[in-house]
Amino acid sequence: MSNLLPIVPLHNSLLDLPSEVKTPNGARFDPRFDRWSYRDNTVTISLDFTSLNATEWLVNSAKRVLIWYAENKSPDHLMNMFERFQHMLKSNQQEAGELPLITSNVLINYRASLSSKNSWYLGSLSGFLKKWHDLGMPGVTDDAIALLKQLRIKGNRKGEAVSTMDTLDGPFTDIEVAAIHDAVDKAYEANHMSLGDYLLVWLFLALGQRPIQYASLKVCDVGTEESKDGTTVYTLRVPRAKQRGQLSRGDFRYRVLIPKIGGKLVQHAEEIHEKYIGILSDPSQAPLFSAKRSSENEPKGFEYHRTSKSLSVDLKDALSKLNVVSERTGEPLHITATRFRRTLGTRAAMEGHGELVIAELLDHTDTQNVGVYVQATPEIVERIDRAMAMHLAPLAQAFSGVIIADESEAARKGDPTSRICDPRIDPSMKPMGNCGKYGFCGSLAPISCYTCRSFQPWLDGPHEAVLNHLISERERLLIGSDARIASINDRTILAVAEVVRRCEEIRAEMKEVMDV
């Protein structure tokens, strides 16, 4: 049995409660305690019934209903119902005494207390109260149910963050995604990010699955296959965690990973397997993203697994340290796991995929919640001209190199192979700058150079020509191909614009000094 807080059970109740409840995932707890505290696979449940502003009798009746949710629904759904019920009771605190009964007047007052932003709370609570009444538990009056059936209750406004491209909760723009890619890769190469955090961020970017699914992953879920041409195909078996009536590892979807991530994931899985030899009887069952230590309330089969909440916090912490800036706000990106899911759905819709494909990518059982991605595909890829690029450049912070006067200040001065040139941009082969990196670089110069921290652009380099070239190429691709292809170098355009802007400022400052 899971660890329970040593609180004395409620006595003299009108309703008898069972001594033990078992969830669909096999977790067990004693519902007679004032706090339900247990671990349900990768989710930690903590419901404090002493916080409810209601009589002991009403609380006990509510427990009977919540037991049904614990036995038949997901742990997240159970917690949501408790929180909605708790919120309604808190709104009743202005009245004298604890609430003895849920009547139509209580619901009318609660509805009046809700703002337009959270009016959907009553919609969620309505299902809970109707189930309460259907189960025959006392506490909800007939007139309250009659009122709920008559009211036109607004549901949660689905898709608003997606359709408005909200900067806090909506999908990331392509430039923001590119900024995350760049920051994560640089941090990992500089040993400022662990392999585990690096892979976690990349899996959120590539697959957009729920935190509970990543928390349920095990070493055995990482696999490789050999294709017909002899190349290695990397796969990840992802548990379907939110499907009703299924265990969190009862059904799977196979995802193919790009070699860049797949190869590192295999390496990570091997390291975890080695780490748990002698700790677990079968190291292949070790968690892919493991906790630092085992906790006492871990369910069987999920030893050393982290909770979905802790994984979400780790994702946020890992990216917050990198200070990735949004070109829309000039502020660090607001990081949530949900934004990665919404980004995946939005990008899939922009590429022309329909609802069925998007539902498959996001692991939905139907298409009722994915229509917003298809409907909300106005031209998110906006037109970028020179004026807009110069305006957005300081906000995007895409350029991370150092501007130098000429090659005499370069890290590799005197090395002709460090010069960055392109005859398409300047037929005279005048260098844009120097590369300060020693060793092989597989990036495409000069396009990729402007977002590289090793790039040292010259003060008098042909950066304006580079900017004009990239913008002209973007406009050409917008006419002859897909907008997504045309926008592939948008972050580079902002980086070049920032170099142009800074060079103009430096030259202006030098002129002022000379004029004095």
What is the distance of C-alpha 169 from the center of its chain? 10
Whether residue 236 sits in one domain with residue 128: no
Whether residue 236 sits in one domain with residue 132: no
Is the pLDDT assigned to residue 184 strictly greater than 90?
yes
For residues 401-418, give the mean pLDDT.
Answer: 92
pLDDT bin (cut points 50, 70, 90) of residue 383 is low
Tell me which DSSP letter residue 140 carries. B
β-bridge pairing 222-226 and 43-48: unpaired
The tally of CA atoms less than 13 A away on the side-chain side of residue 286 is 24
pLDDT bin (cut points 50, 70, 90) of residue 367 is low
pLDDT bin (cut points 50, 70, 90) of residue 384 is confident
433 Ramachandran zone, left/alpha/beta (phi>0; psi -120 to 50): left
Does residue 135 form part of some domain? yes
CA distance 403 to 434: 10
pLDDT bin (cut points 50, 70, 90) of residue 97 is low
Q: Which two tokens stand for residue 486?
A: 């045309």
For 170, residues 6+ apart whose C-beta sits below 8 A from its C-beta are: 161, 162, 164, 339, 342
DSSP 448-509: TGGG-TTEEEBTTSSHHHHHHHHHHHHHHHHHHS-HHHHTTTHHHHHHHHHHHHHHHHHHHH
Is there a cis peptide before residue 446, judged by omega within 30 degrees of 0? yes
Does residue 210 form part of some domain? yes
Q: Is the pTM of this model over 0.75?
A: no
Output phi, psi for 253, to 5 deg.
Answer: -125, 140
Mean pLDDT of the chain: 85
How many domains are contained in the chain?
3
For 105, residues 6+ apart whose C-beta sits below 8 A from its C-beta are: none
Q: Which two tokens stand for residue 102?
A: 């849920």
Determine the pLDDT at residue 40: 86
Is the pLDDT assigned to residue 5 strictly greater than 50?
no
Q: Closest Cα to residue 184, out of 175, 197, 169? A: 197
Determine the pLDDT at residue 275: 94
Residue with tokens 């917050």: 320
For residues 250-269, give the mean pLDDT.
Answer: 92
Tell me which DSSP letter residue 8 carries. P
Q: Look at residue 7 and give its three-state secondary structure.
A: coil
Does residue 358 form part of some domain? no
Q: Look at residue 149 and give its three-state secondary structure.
A: helix
Give ∠ CA 263-320-498 in degrees, rounded to 5.
90
For residues 84-107, give the mean pLDDT.
Answer: 82
For residues 125-134, give the mean pLDDT.
Answer: 93
Q: Look at residue 129 and give its three-state secondary structure.
A: helix
For residues 294-315, give the mean pLDDT.
Answer: 84
Does residue 271 form part of some domain? yes
Per-residue pLDDT tens over the stretch 7-59: 333 444 446 889 999 998 888 999 999 999 998 888 889 999 999 988 988 99
Whether residue 300 sits in one domain with residue 217: yes
Please identify, among 315, 346, 366, the residue that sits at the C-terminal boundary of a domain.
315
Is the pLDDT assigned to residue 197 strictly greater than 70?
yes
Whether residue 226 sits in one domain with residue 292: yes
For residue 509, how many other CB atoms are within 10 A of its CB? 10
pLDDT bin (cut points 50, 70, 90) of residue 301 is confident
Determine the pLDDT at residue 241: 65
Whether residue 108 sits in one domain with residue 200: no
Determine the pLDDT at residue 152: 76
Please identify, among 297, 315, 333, the residue that sits at the C-terminal boundary of a domain.
315
Whether residue 227 sits in one domain with residue 140: no
CA distance 203 to 263: 13
Determine the pLDDT at residue 1: 37
Is the pLDDT assigned to residue 499 strictly greater than 90?
yes
Q: Closest Cα to residue 88, out of 114, 61, 69? A: 114
Q: Look at residue 81 and give its three-state secondary structure.
A: helix
Whether residue 198 sits in one domain with residue 145: no
Does residue 415 form part of some domain? yes
Whether residue 219 sits in one domain with residue 131: no
Whether residue 210 sits in one domain with residue 140: no
Is the pLDDT assigned to residue 244 strictly greater than 50?
no
Q: How far is CA 354 from CA 159, 166, 240, 362, 492, in A?
A: 16, 23, 21, 12, 30
Q: How far is CA 378 from CA 164, 345, 382, 484, in A?
A: 10, 14, 10, 13
Does residue 367 form part of some domain? no
CATH number of the domain that 258 lies in?
Answer: 1.10.443.10
DSSP 401-448: S--BSSGGGSTTTT-GGGEE--TTT-TT---SEEE---S---S-TTTT
Whether residue 128 sits in one domain with residue 41: yes
Give ∠ CA 283-288-292 in degrees, rounded to 5.
85
Does residue 484 form part of some domain? yes
CA distance 372 to 362: 13
Tell me which DSSP letter residue 324 carries. P
Whether residue 402 sits in one domain with residue 289: no
Does residue 156 form part of some domain? no
Determine the pLDDT at residue 264: 95
Question: Is-contact 407 393, C-beta < 8 A?
Answer: no
Determine the pLDDT at residue 155: 56
CA distance 473 to 477: 6
For residues 368-397, give the mean pLDDT.
Answer: 71
Q: Look at residue 37 and give its three-state secondary structure.
A: strand
Give the residue numbers spanning the domain of 490: 386-515
Minimum mean pLDDT range among 68-72, 312-316, 372-376, 461-465: 372-376
Tell me the one-letter amino acid at 118.
N
For residues 224-253, give the mean pLDDT.
Answer: 79
Q: Look at residue 252 and give its three-state secondary structure.
A: strand
pLDDT bin (cut points 50, 70, 90) of residue 479 is confident
Whether residue 128 sits in one domain with residue 28: yes
Determine the pLDDT at residue 157: 60
Please identify, among 264, 293, 315, the residue that sits at the C-terminal boundary of a domain.
315
DSSP 119-173: TTHHHHHHHHHHHHHHTT-TTB-HHHHHHHHHS------TTHHHHTT-TTTSPPP
Minimum mean pLDDT range among 55-64, 144-153, 357-366: 357-366
For residues 456-471, give the mean pLDDT.
Answer: 94
β-bridge pairing 419-420 and 232-239: unpaired
Minimum mean pLDDT range among 62-76, 129-143, 162-176: 162-176
345-354 burial code (b ≥16 CB/10 A, e <16): bbbbbbeebe
